Amino acid sequence: MQLKIALNSAIQRLARDAVPSPRMNAELLLMFTLDCDRAYLHAHPEREMSEEERTRFEAALVERARGVPAQYITGHQEFWGLDLIVTPAVLIPRPETEHVVESVLELVRKVGGGGQGRPASAEKIIDVGTGSGCIALALAKELPGAEIHATDISLEALEIARANAARLGFENRIQFREADLLQGSGLEFDFVVSNPPYVGESEADQVQLEVRKFEPRNAVFAGTTGVEVIKRLIPQARAALRPGGWLVMEISGTIAEQTSDLLHDWDEVSILPDLQSIPRVARARKRR
């Protein structure tokens, strides 16, 4: 079968199965099957697929049609220009989480992260609930002098985060540790950064079925209301930050108001929107 025929029939099939963006998904899975880029697909529409390629493409389409996210099929997701391995043990990094990274970098540039007696380039940062390691890795890339720690409660997630760090050459830059939020860190940080679980079980029916069915439950849901994890994280962050240090967290519009309330005794509290104008990043400074 020629590539163009395989591609067109895959697009129709995914559309029939109500997979969003069927063309993009079909192309992605064909590129994955052939280990090629989009330019190759379109430059060789008449190239014949081998029996083995057809079998693998078919298997990928079956998975996608039953709702498995394309990233769990291909095993990859890009974040902050980094190619990350993802498995169902970790949340698929989202583009909006890049706002958390941007926010930390902006603060580092504006106020300098270095605590007393430390140069501004030696920020001490902890990423809580690191998942694939995406935030910690992006910060390691951008802040070569920073000391970076990362925790997760899931050992399986930490395995993926460590593998990503090793693949990208950052294994000596980030210390990964299994922990419930910040427990046992015993250090004082300039930044506590986190994309914690923040969806409430009570709003589960508003969450995409693919997310509910295939992404790790403890990465998405925090409890009944969605603020349960943040409620524990905020006091722990205060204890772990140096005076004047920053807490930067991803949130959703649903919990923005409650998050502001929980930060009432912090300084310089702001809630920043994402590109869709949804409240996305909460940041606050520990009182000096």
Does 226 bind ligand SAM (CB under 6 A)? Our answer is no
Helices (H), ranges, 35-133? 38-43, 51-65, 70-74, 98-111
Q: Which of 153, 163, 211, 256 forms a contact with ligand SAM (CB under 6 A)?
A: 153
Q: Is 28 among the residues that bind ligand SAM (CB under 6 A)?
A: no
The Cα 126–Cα 242 span in angstroms is: 12
Interface residue with ligand SAM, options 22, 113, 114, 131 (CB under 6 A)? 131
* Nearer to ligand SAM (CB atom), residue 91 or residue 234: 91
Determine the residue type at 45.
P
Binding mask 204-223 for ligand SAM (x = CB under 6 A): --------------xx----
Tokens describing residue 229: 């994890």
Asked if 197 and 221 count as a contact pair (C-beta separation under 8 A), the reply is yes
- Window contacting ligand SAM (CB under 6 A); options: 16-24, 25-33, 139-147, 194-202: 194-202
273 close to 241: Cβ distance less than 8 angstroms: no
Residue whose CB is less far from ligand SAM, 7 or 91: 91
- Measured from the CB atom, the residue of 84 and 241 that comes closer to ligand SAM is 84
Cα distance from N-terminal residue to C-terminal residue, the chain: 68
**8 A C-beta contact, residue 112 and residue 140:** no
Interface contacts to ligand SAM, rule CB under 6 A: 91, 93, 97, 128-132, 134-135, 151-154, 157, 180-181, 195-197, 218-219, 229
